[in-house]
């Protein structure tokens, strides 16, 4: 292991960073987030990083303290003369604020990109952005990884007879279509209408699901309301089974209750955000291997194309 690579964790992603460092073949770097009585905090690197490639692992899920912690870690690394500073952000918070969809609102995803660059990040590695075009908000390289690299092997081992994929909303269509193409399987869409955030007014299914084993695919599970309602509607329309795969388990509000009371066989999530508690219906698959490979390839200036589903599709054709 080249000693010029150092991996550090923020408090929001400590468990995941430990796994990434282990897969990479390095000990996790020593850092202390010193907290003061007034609520302020200060990251302190407890080892020299002068001239090193520094990878900082931190998801920016709520509260905003996780984001501020990452920004301060980047600034501290810059002032400690790190050679390159790479922000590894498994879950990129504020990504749903990617445009002005109503008057007088902020574009939060762009602001976060600006803050990361201003702090001194040289590169960003992230996963399943809610809107892929957020990559264009940056003027530094962004490696945008795809969770399908981990979900596809899981789906294959299920050996479902009448496999059909479902998009829980129109916004997930492209993501689901790619995976459906990989399996040469059918796809349906659950078209939802909201009156307000986190509250679904109505939903309809576009496509035939009778006697099908349905796999719902989405990037975020927030309150679980969309997945629970979609699963119930799919079963009403004659589906034989319904399960869901979501990258980022935000699981806010009554999410655990919604999932456990739903007709879903299971919900498969990644460890981009740590679970608040365990649930019999929720299974976690780690992204540590994927991120460790991305970190090594970024350090060695190698391509990461092989980590994406489109390269796997080319291999099947």
| Closest among 114, 172, 126 to 273, alpha carbons compared | 126
Pair (103, 184) in one structural domain: no
317 within domain boundaries: no
**Helix (H) / strand (E) containing 203:** strand 199-206
Do both 43 and 27 map to the same domain? yes
Domain assignment present for 67: yes
Tell me the pLDDT of the chain averaged across its residues.
92
Residues 211, 259, single domain; the answer is yes
Q: Is the pLDDT of residue 312 over 60?
A: no
Asked if residue 259 is part of any domain, the answer here is yes
Q: What is the pTM of this model?
A: 0.93
316 inside domain:
no
Residues 6+ apart with CB under 8 A from 62: 93, 252
Q: Per the domain annotation, does 315 fall within a domain? A: no
| Residue located via tokens 């009156």 | 195
Which has the closest alpha carbon to 121: 58, 45, 32? 58
Q: Which of 165, 160, 109 is nearest to 138 (CA)?
A: 109
Residue 219: pLDDT over 90:
yes
- Burial (0-12, 13-18, 19+ Cβ within 10 Å), 177: middle
* Structural domain count of the chain: 2
234 in a domain, yes or no?
A: yes
Half-sphere exposure of 138 (CA within 13 A, CB side): 22
Helix (H) or strand (E) segment spanning residue 233:
helix 225-236
CATH number at residue 206: 3.40.50.2020
User: Do 191 and 303 lie in a common domain?
Assistant: no
Would you call 195 a catalytic residue per the annotation?
no
Instruction: Identify the pLDDT of residue 171.
Output: 80
Residue with the two structure tokens 């388990």: 249
User: Which strand (E) or helix (H) includes residue 284?
Assistant: strand 282-285
pLDDT recorded at residue 3? 55
Q: Quick one: pLDDT at residue 203?
A: 80
Same domain as 263, residue 209: yes
Tell me: pLDDT of 199 over 50.
yes
Examine residue 313 and state whether it is found in any structural domain, yes or no.
no
What confidence tier does 317 reach under pLDDT thresholds 50, 70, 90? very low
What are the pLDDT digits (tens) for 242-295?
A: 999 999 999 999 999 999 999 999 999 999 999 999 999 999 999 999 999 999
Could you tell me if 156 and 282 lie in one domain?
yes
Q: Both 118 and 159 in a single domain?
A: no
> 173 and 121 in one domain?
no
50-87 burial code (b ≥16 CB/10 A, e <16): eebbbbbbbbbbeeeebbebbbbbbbbbeebebebbbb
Same domain membership, residue 245 and residue 158: yes
Domain housing 17: 5-145+289-307
% of residues, the chain, pLDDT over 70 = 93
Residues 296 and 214 placed together within one structural domain of the fold: no
**Half-sphere CA count of 10, side-chain side, radius 13 A:** 31
Condensed to tens digits (0 to 9), the pLDDT of residues 90-124 reads 999 999 999 998 999 999 999 999 999 999 999 99
Residues 277 and 153 in one domain: yes
Question: pLDDT of 23-66, one tens digit each?
Answer: 999 999 999 999 999 999 999 999 999 999 999 999 999 989 99
Give, for 29, the enclosing helix (H) or strand (E).
Answer: none
pLDDT value at residue 197: 59
Q: What's the CA gap between 175 and 167, in Å, rounded?
A: 8
Task: Write down the catalytic residue from 19, 192, 212, 229.
Answer: 192
254, 191: one domain: yes
Give the helix ranges, DSSP H, for 2-60.
14-24
In a domain, 82, yes or no: yes
φ and ψ at residue 297, rounded to 5 degrees:
-65, -35
């Amino acid at each position: 292991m080249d000693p010029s690579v150092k991996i550090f964790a923020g408090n929001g992603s400590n468990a995941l960073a430990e796994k990434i460092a282990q897969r990479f073949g390095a000990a996790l770097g020593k850092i202390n987030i010193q907290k003061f009585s007034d609520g302020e905090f200060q990251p302190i690197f407890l080892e020299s990083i002068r001239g090193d490639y520094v990878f900082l692992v931190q998801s920016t899920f709520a509260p905003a303290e996780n984001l501020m912690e990452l920004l301060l870690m980047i600034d501290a690394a810059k002032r400690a003369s790190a050679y390159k500073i790479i922000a590894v952000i498994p879950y990129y918070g504020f990504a749903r604020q990617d445009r002005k969809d109503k008057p007088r609102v902020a574009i939060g995803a762009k602001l976060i990109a600006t803050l990361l660059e201003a702090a001194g990040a040289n590169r960003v590695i992230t996963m399943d952005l809610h809107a892929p075009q957020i990559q264009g908000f940056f003027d530094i390289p962004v490696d945008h990884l795809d969770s399908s690299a981990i979900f596809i092997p899981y789906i294959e081992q299920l050996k479902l007879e009448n496999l059909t994929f479902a998009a829980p909303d129109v916004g997930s269509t492209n993501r689901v279509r790619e995976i459906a193409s990989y399996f040469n399987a059918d796809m349906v869409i659950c078209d939802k209408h909201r009156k307000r955030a986190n509250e679904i007014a109505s939903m309809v299914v576009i496509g035939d699901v009778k006697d099908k084993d349905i796999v719902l695919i989405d990037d975020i599970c927030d309150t679980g309301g969309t997945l629970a309602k979609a699963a119930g509607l799919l079963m009403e329309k004659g589906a034989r089974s319904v399960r869901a795969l979501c990258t980022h388990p935000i699981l806010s509000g009554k999410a655990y209750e919604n999932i456990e009371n739903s007709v879903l066989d299971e919900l498969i999530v990644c460890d981009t955000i740590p679970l608040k508690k365990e649930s019999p219906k929720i299974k976690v698959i780690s992204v540590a291997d994927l991120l460790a490979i991305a970190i090594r390839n970024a350090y060695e200036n190698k391509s990461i194309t092989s980590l994406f589903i489109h390269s796997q599709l080319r291999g099947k054709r």
